[in-house]
Amino acid sequence: MPGAQLREGDILARRYILKQPVAAGGMSVVWRAWDSTLERTVAVKVLDGPIASDGGQRDRIRREARAAARIEHPNAIGVYDYGETVTPRGRIAAYVVMQLLEGISVAARLERGPVPWPEAVQVAGTVADVLHAAHRRGVVHRDVTPENVMLTSDGVRLLDFGIAADIGQREEAMTFGTPPYVAPERLTGAPASGATDVYSLGVLLFEMLTGAPPYPAQTWEELERALAAERRPVLNVPGLPAAAAAACLRSLSTDPMRRPTAAELASILGSSAPAARNRRRVLLAVPVVVAIATVLSVLLLRDDDPDPKRGENAAPVPSVSIYVSVVPGPPGAQVTPTTNGQPRRSGTATSGAPATGSAAPPPLPSPLTRQAAGKAVLDVVDRREQTGEIREDVALDIRNQINNLLSDSNDAARRIELLRKQLTDRRRDNAVQEAAYQELDAAVVQFGKTFST
């Protein structure tokens, strides 16, 4: 990058040791780096150029960190830290620290031609679910492109929230994004909405299925001419389920109101992907011996999301529930639990005394899943920050640490204890008010328990 001053071996913020650059943009460089505090490899995106000519890039990189930190989803890139520091050669540099991913982008995959429809549908369905999580947090990505979707050994990941906006935010004076993936309403300055992301994802799915976007354009003028021609794209992919094809074409509607929501799109594509159906069928069918031969554990996919705003068509969140059953007795017998936890059969009496019925004890509450417990912490942070009981920078740091733990559980116990100590310190300096501290610390404790079960 012209004017860049950072070099291999430089240390940022007395913590991040730069190893080698892995990507570069107009004003920023992404480095593979070593986090000497937590002893792990990370990606550090650094704005390394003259501050006077950064064109607002510092604000954008800060916005990227904040937007990504608000999204609690395992398929969104994890953001760990943000800051501004002085480089070894005296220049001020803004940086954001992210999860380092190994894999290839969808753009690189498309260089080999169209993606088989089952894989394309599964990728798009996963991205739709991430977008649904973002929209629930009031974040619009605005840059869903093949370059920003990565295929890794741990699954699909949505990257780069660098031009994300809050829902309802007006378009800046300069239009951002990649022309073929920009929704038509963005060209007219419409406020940011989830529908713009759905359009971009529709373009991405169309391109994965056919090998080319529905409206190829290199410039904004070419895009405007292509949209003005009102040529409706056609999908003719052998084997592609009709529901998936229809959802893709609906996503490309020029009218935002006619597009499905991200939740609807995730549900439709999730049910259309053979891998998802096969995985569910296997999980429903496999019994596991837990302790004794009379106890079976069945792994089920269940939606544990307690958020009442979640739409009916939202994609299911995979989690594990354990249901305990007892080997049935002779025909006609009925198994019920007793108060001492041992099974009791009712039916044909074996003694002279008549059977007396008793109500079964209420089921014990299911423990929180790790995702649900992490979400509970983030909800406390959001609510208490809005009331001014948690300082903004402290709230951002807590979100970063929780999302970090959700995506990387290594050394979780020590990191949970470190977070609790930081909360105590922030309470002392009044960055976290007492009531907020009590609720937040309790939620963090519950979250920590999910790493030991």
**Lookup result for tokens 């599964």:** 122
**Considering the chain, what is the average pLDDT of its residues?**
76
User: Cα–Cα distance between 118 and 131 in angstroms, integer?
Assistant: 20
Kindly state the average pLDDT of the residues 7-20: 92
116-149: pLDDT as tens digits: 999 999 999 999 999 999 999 889 998 999 999 9
| Sign, Cα dihedral of 76, 77, 79, 82 | negative
Of the listed ranges 113-127, 190-204, 230-244, 312-326, the one predicted with least confidence: 312-326
Predicted confidence band of residue 283 (pLDDT cuts 50, 70, 90):
very low
The radius of gyration of the chain's CA atoms, rounded to the nearest angstrom, is 26
pLDDT for residue 315 = 38
pLDDT for residue 419 = 92
Strongest mean pLDDT among 17-26, 117-126, 216-225: 117-126
Query: Which has more pLDDT, 421 or 362?
Result: 421
Q: Does the pLDDT of residue 111 top 90, yes or no?
A: yes
pLDDT for residue 319 = 35
Of the listed ranges 207-221, 281-295, 375-389, the one predicted with least confidence: 281-295
Which residues have a Cβ under 8 Å from the Cβ of 369 and sit 6 or more positions away? 304, 319, 320, 450
Q: Does the pLDDT of residue 392 top 70, yes or no?
A: yes
Query: Which has more pLDDT, 310 or 113?
Result: 113
Query: Which has more pLDDT, 83 or 3?
Result: 83
User: Cα–Cα distance between 199 and 218 in angstroms, integer?
Assistant: 18
Q: Does the pLDDT of residue 271 top 60, yes or no?
A: yes
Of the candidates 396, 385, 397, 386, the one whose C-alpha atom is nearest the C-alpha of residue 432 is 385
Please give the share of the chain, as a percent, with pLDDT higher than 90. Answer: 34
Of the listed ranges 37-41, 312-316, 379-383, the one predicted with least confidence: 312-316
Q: Does the pLDDT of residue 391 top 60, yes or no?
A: yes
Strongest mean pLDDT among 97-106, 193-202, 291-300, 395-404: 193-202
Q: Does the pLDDT of residue 98 top 60, yes or no?
A: yes
Which residues have a Cβ under 8 Å from the Cβ of 357 and sit 6 or more positions away? 346
Of the listed ranges 64-78, 148-162, 341-355, 403-417, the one predicted with least confidence: 341-355
Residue 387 amino acid letter = T
152-205: pLDDT as tens digits: 988 899 988 878 888 888 766 554 678 889 888 888 888 889 999 999 999 999
Residues pairing with 288 in the sheet: 297
pLDDT for residue 176 = 65
Predicted confidence band of residue 329 (pLDDT cuts 50, 70, 90):
very low
pLDDT for residue 57 = 66
Kindly state the average pLDDT of the residues 260-275: 87
Of the candidates 15, 243, 20, 258, the one whose C-alpha atom is nearest the C-alpha of residue 121 is 243
Query: Which has more pLDDT, 264 or 162?
Result: 264
Predicted confidence band of residue 437 (pLDDT cuts 50, 70, 90):
very high
Please give the positions annotated as active site.
143
Strongest mean pLDDT among 267-281, 284-298, 387-401: 387-401
Predicted confidence band of residue 317 (pLDDT cuts 50, 70, 90):
very low
Of the listed ranges 78-87, 262-271, 325-334, 413-422, the one predicted with least confidence: 325-334
Give CA separation, 228 vs 214, 224, 233, in Å.
13, 6, 13
Q: Does the pLDDT of residue 276 top 50, yes or no?
A: no
Which residues have a Cβ under 8 Å from the Cβ of 235 and sit 6 or more positions away? 206, 209, 210, 245, 248, 249
Give CA separation, 146 vs 111, 178, 184, 215, in Å.
11, 10, 19, 15
Of the listed ranges 71-80, 288-297, 355-364, the one predicted with least confidence: 288-297
Q: Does the pLDDT of residue 284 top 60, yes or no?
A: no
pLDDT for residue 294 = 25
Of the candidates 32, 50, 49, the one whose C-alpha atom is nearest the C-alpha of residue 41 is 32
